[in-house]
Chains A and B, each alone.
Chain A
Amino acid sequence: AQSVTQLDSQVPVFEEAPVELRCNYSSSVSVYLFWYVQYPNQGLQLLLKYLSGSTLVESINGFEAEFNKSQTSFHLRKPSVHISDTAEYFCAVYSGNTPLVFGKGTRLSVIA
Chain B
Amino acid sequence: EAGVTQSPTHLIKTRGQQATLRCSPISGHTSVYWYQQALGLGLQFLLWYDEGEERNRGNFPPRFSGRQFPNYSSELNVNALELEDSALYLCASSSFNQPQHFGDGTRLSIL
Task: Report which A residues bind B (CB closer than 8 A).
Answer: 32, 34, 36, 41-46, 49, 90, 96, 98-105
CB < 8 Å: which of A43, A99, A100, A103 contacts B103?
Answer: A43
Q: Flag if B102 contacts A99 (CB, 8 Å).
A: no
Q: Flag if A99 contacts B42 (CB, 8 Å).
A: no
Q: Flag if B42 contacts A49 (CB, 8 Å).
A: no
Q: Do most interface residues of chain B lie in helix, strand or loop, or is the interface mixed?
A: strand
Interface string of B64-103 (1 = CB under 8 A from A): 0000000000000000000000000010100001011111
Q: Flag if A99 contacts B45 (CB, 8 Å).
A: yes
Shortest distance between the CB of A86 and any CB in chain B (Å): 18
Q: Flag if B42 contacts A96 (CB, 8 Å).
A: no
22 CB contacts below 8 A, A to B, read A32-B99, A41-B104, A42-B104, A42-B105, A43-B4, A43-B6, A43-B90, A43-B102, A44-B90, A44-B92, A44-B102, A46-B99, A46-B101, A90-B42, A96-B97, A99-B33, A99-B58, A100-B100, A101-B45, A102-B42, A103-B42, A104-B42
Most chain-B CB neighbours within 10 Å: which of A98, A99, A102?
A99
Q: Flag if A49 contacts B99 (CB, 8 Å).
A: yes
B56 on interface, CB distance cutoff 8 Å: yes
In the complex formed, the residue of A with least CB distance to B97 is: A96
Most chain-A CB neighbours within 10 Å: which of B33, B43, B97, B105?
B43
Q: A43-B103, A46-B101 are in contact. Are A98 and B56 (CB under 8 A)?
A: yes
Contacts of B56 in A (CB 8 A): 98-99
Contacts of B42 in A (CB 8 A): 90, 102-105
In the complex formed, the residue of B with least CB distance to A46 is: B99
